[in-house]
Chains A and B, each alone.
Chain A
Amino acid sequence: MPLLDDLRMPLDEHDEARREFLALVGAAAMGLASLGTAITAVRFMWPEVLFEEERRFRIGKPEEIPEGTLVALPQQKVYVVHAPDGFFAMSATCTHLGCLTQYERENNRIFCPCHGSKFSAEGAVTDGPAPRPLPRLLLTLEQGALVVDVSKRVERDVVLKI
């Protein structure tokens, strides 16, 4: 079975140069196409819209929370506290492994049923494996009502003064 092949087809310099140039252009085009495809593929995977829970909640009027009390909102996973120097909101999610904490009114402390972490009414860790205090969340006053944004954290000494 005879093999017809152009192992070394005689090419003059022009043919060779043209062949190389075209091969280079072809390779560059394929490279561009691959790069474009790769970028598109990665960008495609970035969701534009999140079908997740609402992040901002209206809590209520500040007058409804007497000084020195803590309001627990388990559905939004938030505690709102009227401290002596102002209002603040903090996350009710335990900083250990993400369980929902509970407020013990009798002892004025927050505890986590999963691994026994305990927090003060300001969110500082008093006992248990939790590594960090409960983070504080952005609390603002809008049209006479308190609004919490659970996606925004603030420093632990920030309070809302009314």
Chain B
Amino acid sequence: MARTSTRYRWIADAVLENRVFRSIFRHGFADSNRNRSLAVFSNIFLHIHPVKVNVRAIRFTRTYYLGGLSAATFLILVVTGIFLMFYYHPSAPRAYDDMKDLQFVVYMGPFLRNLHRWAAHAMVALVLLHMVRVFFAGAYRPPREFNWVVGVVLLLLTILLSYTGYLLPWDQLAYWGVTVGTNMADSMPVLGKYTKFLLLGGTEVNENALLRFYVLHCVVLPFFLVLLLSVHIWRVRKDGGIYLGEAGEEKPDAEPEPVAPEPEPVGATRESVR
């Protein structure tokens, strides 16, 4: 964004050029390529991105932003989940009373709970769509095979997260949904019994199962998800960013991005270019 206007420049300068701001952000406003580069690679949160990116990679129709949206949904889930944790006791039957508490007493309780639940469904759906998009784009081909496998594990973690969270309200839907699920796991030939026993912390869906699912849902699974998500994004960076197809395989995009004219030195008369 060009900063050639002077009307509000003084506001921007007051905010951006004072000592305190400059001690936090060590680069200037992003109106030169140098500052734009610095904005990315001197920032701990942003530097997982490349400084420059292929124009074709950022088009919406390339990835439909599904990977990023999945990660964003996960972020929403973590934040709403932490808020919900302040009013939830993972013991039966107190858990159900806490759900009632959230529903009728707590300020914005229903909103946060609904947001958490919808974001959970959205995350499973987005992750599945992301997998389908990656497959049909062929972005799993060598050298990206292992990243695909990491993605499959991430899918399983997402489904497990959704499943462990499902039990926590301790209502009929939760209890019987989990009963059906653990019985399906039980029917595994050799390991089934032990899987069910470990999952439930016993043989029944009771207080122990609730506590176990709570710890899995809030600590163990998110930990592994974040770990593998970091690997997943790292691998995409190391493989050169979004997969854009083999040479010769890609049909040209419908319209090439408009090329901006050469940057003019400040002070030169500007001619309209349209």
Q: Please say whether the chains A and B touch (CB closer than 8 A).
A: yes
Q: Which residues of A come within 8 Å of B, CB atoms? A: 1, 3-12, 16-17, 19-20, 23-24, 40-41, 43-49
Contact in complex: B33, A7 (CB < 8 Å)? yes
Q: Return chain A residues, CB-CB under 8 Å to B266.
A: 8
State the Cβ distance, A48 to closest chain B Cβ, in Å: 5
Contact in complex: B105, A20 (CB < 8 Å)? no
Given A16-B5, A20-B5: A45 and B263 interface contact (C-beta under 8 Å) = no
Interface size, B (range): 20 to 34
Interface string of B242-274 (1 = CB under 8 A from A): 000000000000000101110110100011110
Contact in complex: A10, B8 (CB < 8 Å)? no
Q: Return chain A residues, CB-CB under 8 Å to B31.
A: 7
Contact in complex: A10, B55 (CB < 8 Å)? no
Selected contact of A20 from candidates B8, B264, B273, CB within 8 Å: B8
Q: Return chain B residues, CB-CB under 8 Å to A20.
A: 5, 7-8
Secondary structure at the B interface, as helix, strand, loop or mixed, is: loop
Q: Return chain B residues, CB-CB under 8 Å to A8.
A: 2, 4, 263-264, 266
Given A4-B257, A16-B5: A10 and B271 interface contact (C-beta under 8 Å) = yes
State the Cβ distance, A124 to closest chain B Cβ, in Å: 42
State the Cβ distance, B60 to closest chain A Cβ, in Å: 18
Contact in complex: A11, B55 (CB < 8 Å)? no
Q: Return chain B residues, CB-CB under 8 Å to A9.
A: 2, 260-261
Q: Which residues of B come within 8 Å of A, CB atoms? A: 1-2, 4-5, 7-8, 31-33, 52, 55, 83, 86-87, 101, 105-109, 112, 257, 259-261, 263-264, 266, 270-273
The distance in angstroms between the C-alpha atoms of A81 and B163, with both chains bound, is 59
Closest 5 CB pairs of A and B: A6-B260, A7-B263, A10-B270, A48-B105, A8-B263
Q: Return chain A residues, CB-CB under 8 Å to B2.
A: 6-9, 11
State the Cβ distance, A17 to closest chain B Cβ, in Å: 8
Given A4-B257, A44-B108: A12 and B272 interface contact (C-beta under 8 Å) = yes
Q: Return chain A residues, CB-CB under 8 Å to B259.
A: 4
State the Cβ distance, B190 to closest chain A Cβ, in Å: 46
Residue of B nearest to A43 (CB): B107
State the Cβ distance, A65 to closest chain B Cβ, in Å: 39
The distance in angstroms between the C-alpha atoms of A116 and B112, with both chains bound, is 50
Q: Return chain B residues, CB-CB under 8 Å to A11.
A: 2, 4
* Sample of 5 more A-B contacts, CB < 8 Å, known A5-B260, A24-B8: A3-B33, A4-B257, A5-B33, A20-B7, A44-B86
Residue of B nearest to A4 (CB): B259
